[in-house]
Amino acid sequence: MVALPIARSVAELRAGVAAWRQAGASIALVPTMGALHEGHLALVRRGLELADRVVASVFVNPTQFAPQEDFDRYPRDEAGDAGKLASVGCGLLYAPTVGEMYPEGFCTAITLGGPAEGLCGAFRPQMFGGVALVVTKLLLQAQPDFAIFGEKDYQQLQVIRRLTRDLDIPVRVVGVPTVREADGLAMSSRNKYLTAEERADASELYRTLSETAAALAEGAPAGAILERAMAKLAAARFSKIDYLELRDAETLLPLQRVSRPARLLVAAWLGAVRLIDNLPVEPVLG
Ligand code: AMP
């Protein structure tokens, strides 16, 4: 297999993209933080259904980590990532340095509201500002026709949809359903942090989420259903539940019951590992 070309600078990225454009190709961008798994590769595959070429970025973005979070020990495996990307037909890997993305004197920030409020925005206040910054930069650097994101990070997806609309960034934001392990656990680069025991316990998150989504779809008041689900997670050794909430599927405003397309979102801890997941909840007709 031919080695995947790697762009390290904005200039190299732009040269690669310009060559594709000159040949008349449409382009999809898949932003990631690396340590790639099947979930990320599903985004690349979706990109290739929509566009002629896919560029994937691998950048562990310091501005979205709080000081006590795992920036330094976040898993990194560029050679492995490049091999996986090439195997699914990705045409270019963009792996800039921190200095390239945030050169000396960098001082610009993006302020968010709406879908960034509450949920992970309440527990990781730094995160979405950093995500918005890096995604805006990547979109302006690569200027793709499509940008592909996972529903695994559903709040992030809605933040980016809103951001690109609000800032008139000419790109189609596309969401891809969550890719799961056989027992339902959403694939995540951070699943590597789970001990064998925690990994076994982790499957309860998806099970509880699925049951709860089915119960909520009937339209009953969410309060009691969510209380029961949280008690179940606590009994299944989740040490802390940051949130389990029902929200409007688009705006992410809180919902008391399912009367229109909704999303059930959860963040819960197993030991030192924080897992997030979410499912759609459509009202049952009739
Ligand atoms: P990350 O590298 O974890 O920041 O994720 C990069 C992109 O991959 C984001 O758009 C994620 O939502 C997406 N992603 C991560 N895990 C999954 C998964 N299990 N299924 C689908 N997309 C995913």
pLDDT digits (tens, 9 = 90+) for 18-61: 999 999 999 999 999 999 999 999 999 999 999 999 999 999 99
Q: Indicate whether residue 53 lines ligand 1 (CB < 6 A).
A: no
* DSSP output for the chain: -PPPPEE-SHHHHHHHHHHHHHTT--EEEEEE-SS--HHHHHHHHHHHHHSSEEEEEE---GGGS-TTSSTTTS---HHHHHHHHHHTT--EEE---HHHHS-TT--------GGGSSTHHHHSTTHHHHHHHHHHHHHHHH--SEEEEEGGGHHHHHHHHHHHHHTT---EEEEEPPPB-TTSPBP-GGGGGS-HHHHHHHHHHHHHHHHHHHHHHTT--HHHHHHHHHHHHHHTT--EEEEEEEEETTT--B-SS-SSSEEEEEEEEETTEEEEEEEEEPPPP-
Average pLDDT over every residue of 129-144: 98
Q: What is the mean pLDDT of the chain?
A: 97
pLDDT confidence of 286, banded at 50, 70, 90?
Answer: low
Q: Indicate whether residue 150 lines ligand 1 (CB < 6 A).
A: yes
pLDDT digits (tens, 9 = 90+) for 53-100: 999 999 999 999 999 999 999 999 999 999 999 999 999 999 999 999
Is the Cβ–Cβ distance between 35 and 192 less than 8 Å?
yes
Q: Whose CA is nearest to atom 18 of ligand 1?
A: 39
Structural tokens at position 195: 């001990």
**Complete domains list, the chain, with CATH:** 6-176 (3.40.50.620), 189-281 (3.30.1300.10)
Best of 40, 77, 148, 149 for a ligand 1 pocket test (most atoms within 8 Å of beta carbon): 40
pLDDT confidence of 1, banded at 50, 70, 90?
Answer: low
Looking at the CA of residue 177, tell me the nearest atom of ligand 1. 21
Q: Whose CA is nearest to atom 14 of ligand 1?
A: 150
Q: Indicate whether residue 264 lines ligand 1 (CB < 6 A).
A: no
